[in-house]
């Protein structure tokens, strides 16, 4: 029972140290406390954990659940270690890149954010184009990165990177893609009507609109005053308080809300120790998008910070990420509940057009994830012929979103390890979880002190079970419906 020359217990302790250090480096860099992102030293120090021999040995030990989780961890990091130079190069280039726009220069990340709030259509179009030009500059690195992912997966005995991800996660991406394609077909008509109506309200037509136009239409800062920046943290405390969770007593949960020039504009959750030290990091500006993003991360943070410290590392740090994403979606959805707004932000009534707009964003995101999954499967199978795939990306995205996509984004928009599949599964899990909470505690379950108890019981279990297994357990006897039906329901009901 030795992995990379280590005993099983030693190996697991080492996995935990490695993940903690990596997470801490990520926190420091993304929070703007440190300019560079240096993981080389960490990967070198723990190289034994995902050496070829350790990975091959772990691949043979997948008979039980912890074994499967550990093998998945080791194999993915075996790849990541060998493409880390490219990962860092791309990240550093993006960080340093400037977008030329309106005669001035803007840092790349803030330009991406600017796209949400630029009201002038012509300017928005120019900015979108300028961003795509910057993205295109790193595409050769991205192509190389994907080629290496495939090559290393084959060296480990898998037929390609898709097969590698499928075998290790136990999730059939193939079957999921068939389901999500049906979801796209069945909802196309309703989606088309919703998008057309939303665009028309802003004087835009479906034929000429781009993804940036659609994002602006739904994200336009119309409701900013309802979501004041200075109430973000107190709203978290009152929300949790109503569920019977006292935020002030969660000593392992930390918030970093301090503004820093290089802080990453998107909120994120960083577990440095699970459950001992969990960070929620945000560069708060206020507004609906900020609240949605913050509460999403709070959902992750509550999950991680409640995990039973006695569980093995395979259940605390590793396992099915769709479980944690599901908890994050449940918290995120609170922000757009009328009763939640009343209780936490003293907003007397939830504006109907705000609910509509957010549902459209959610819907569009699910359709984009479905397209991204299909694109990822095709890309990794064809061994990445870039000239061919950029147009294919735009085609699949346009079929799914019905608005124009930039072909240059074809690899920028791609996620490692088919994370789009994780989101799709998480949306279904979140629907089941909320259904369970409603049936146990009523429509206003989030105002019940029992909610914290009920969720806490699930949180404590970490990521031992998959999202599907947990959903099944919560609603026993409910006939398993095909995933596409559940997604249709999740988006339309």
CB of 484 closer than 8 Å to CB of 179:
yes
- Looking at the Cβ atoms of 124 and 306, the one nearer to Zn ion is 306
Question: Is the peptide bond between 275 and the residue preceding it cis, with omega within 30 degrees of 0?
Answer: yes
CA atoms of 475 and 230, how far apart (whole Å):
39
Tokens of 444: 């206003």
Shortest spacing between CB 275 and Zn ion, in angstroms? 17
- Looking at the Cβ atoms of 71 and 336, the one nearer to Zn ion is 336
- Looking at the Cβ atoms of 46 and 295, the one nearer to Zn ion is 295
Tokens of 142: 């991205």
- Looking at the Cβ atoms of 54 and 282, the one nearer to Zn ion is 282
- Looking at the Cβ atoms of 97 and 280, the one nearer to Zn ion is 280
Shortest spacing between CB 325 and Zn ion, in angstroms? 5
Supply the angle between the helices 288-306 and 321-334 in degrees, to the nearest 10. 130
User: Exposed (0-12), middle (13-18) or buried (19+): which is 481, by Cβ within 10 Å?
Assistant: exposed
Residue 276: name the closest of 241, 236, 310 by CA: 310
Binding-site ranges for Zn ion (CB under 5 A)? 325, 328
Shortest spacing between CB 427 and Zn ion, in angstroms? 11
Shortest spacing between CB 307 and Zn ion, in angstroms? 16
- DSSP codes of every residue in 336-362: T-HHHHHHHH--SS--HHHHHHHHHHH
- Looking at the Cβ atoms of 191 and 317, the one nearer to Zn ion is 317
CB of 141 closer than 8 Å to CB of 90:
yes
CA atoms of 106 and 112, how far apart (whole Å):
10
Shortest spacing between CB 459 and Zn ion, in angstroms? 15
CA atoms of 258 and 88, how far apart (whole Å):
25
- Looking at the Cβ atoms of 198 and 471, the one nearer to Zn ion is 471
- Looking at the Cβ atoms of 199 and 328, the one nearer to Zn ion is 328
CB of 382 closer than 8 Å to CB of 391:
no
Tokens of 124: 């928005």
Shortest spacing between CB 35 and Zn ion, in angstroms? 26
Beta-bridged to residue 62, according to DSSP, are none
User: Exposed (0-12), middle (13-18) or buried (19+): which is 117, by Cβ within 10 Å?
Assistant: middle
CB of 92 closer than 8 Å to CB of 99:
no
Shortest spacing between CB 313 and Zn ion, in angstroms? 21
Shortest spacing between CB 328 and Zn ion, in angstroms? 4
């Amino acid at each position: 029972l030795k992995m990379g020359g280590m005993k099983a217990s030693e190996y697991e302790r080492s996995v935990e140290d490695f993940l903690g250090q990596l997470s801490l480096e990520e926190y420091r860099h993304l929070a703007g406390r440190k300019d560079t992102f240096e993981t080389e030293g960490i990967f070198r120090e723990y190289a034994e954990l995902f050496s070829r021999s350790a990975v091959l040995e772990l691949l043979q030990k997948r008979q039980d659940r912890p074994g499967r989780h550990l093998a998945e961890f080791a194999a993915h990091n075996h790849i990541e270690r060998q493409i880390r130079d490219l990962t860092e190069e791309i990240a550093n280039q993006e960080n340093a890149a400037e977008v030329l726009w309106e005669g001035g220069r803007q840092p790349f990340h803030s330009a991406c954010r600017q796209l949400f709030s630029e009201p002038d259509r012509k300017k928005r179009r120019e900015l979108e184009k300028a961003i795509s030009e910057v993205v295109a500059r790193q595409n050769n690195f991205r192509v190389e990165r994907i080629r290496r992912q495939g090559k290393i997966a084959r060296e480990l005995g898998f037929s390609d990177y898709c097969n590698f991800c499928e075998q290790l996660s136990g999730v059939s991406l193939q079957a999921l893609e068939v389901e999500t394609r049906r979801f796209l077909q069945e909802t196309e008509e309703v989606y088309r009507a919703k998008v057309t109506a939303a665009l028309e309200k802003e004087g835009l037509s479906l034929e000429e609109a781009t993804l940036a136009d659609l994002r602006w239409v739904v994200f336009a800062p119309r409701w900013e005053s309802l979501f004041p920046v200075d109430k973000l943290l107190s709203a978290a405390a009152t929300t949790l308080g109503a569920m019977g969770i006292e935020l002030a007593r969660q000593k392992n949960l930390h918030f970093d809300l301090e503004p820093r020039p290089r802080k990453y504009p998107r909120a994120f959750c960083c577990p440095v120790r699970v459950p001992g030290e969990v960070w929620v990091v945000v560069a708060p500006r206020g507004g609906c998008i900020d609240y949605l993003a913050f509460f999403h991360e709070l959902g992750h943070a509550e999950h991680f910070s409640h995990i039973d410290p006695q569980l093995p590392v395979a259940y605390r740090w590793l396992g099915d990420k769709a479980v944690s994403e599901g908890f994050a979606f449940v918290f995120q959805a609170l922000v757009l509940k009328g009763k939640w707004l009343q209780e936490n932000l003293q907003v007397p009534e939830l504006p109907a057009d705000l609910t509509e707009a957010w549902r459209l964003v959610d819907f569009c995101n699910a359709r984009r994830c479905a397209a991204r999954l299909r694109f990822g499967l095709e890309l990794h199978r064809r061994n990445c012929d870039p000239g061919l795939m950029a147009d294919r990306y735009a085609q699949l995205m346009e079929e799914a979103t019905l608005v124009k996509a930039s072909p240059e984004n074809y690899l920028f928009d791609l996620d490692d390890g088919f994370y789009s599949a994780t989101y799709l599964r998480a949306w279904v899990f979140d629907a089941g979880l909320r259904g369970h909470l409603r049936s146990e505690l009523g429509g206003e379950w989030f105002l019940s002190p029992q909610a914290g108890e009920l969720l806490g019981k699930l949180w404590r279990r970490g990521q031992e079970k998959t999202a599907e297994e947990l959903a099944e357990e919560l609603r026993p006897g409910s006939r398993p419906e095909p995933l596409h039906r559940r997604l249709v329901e999740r988006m339309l009901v």
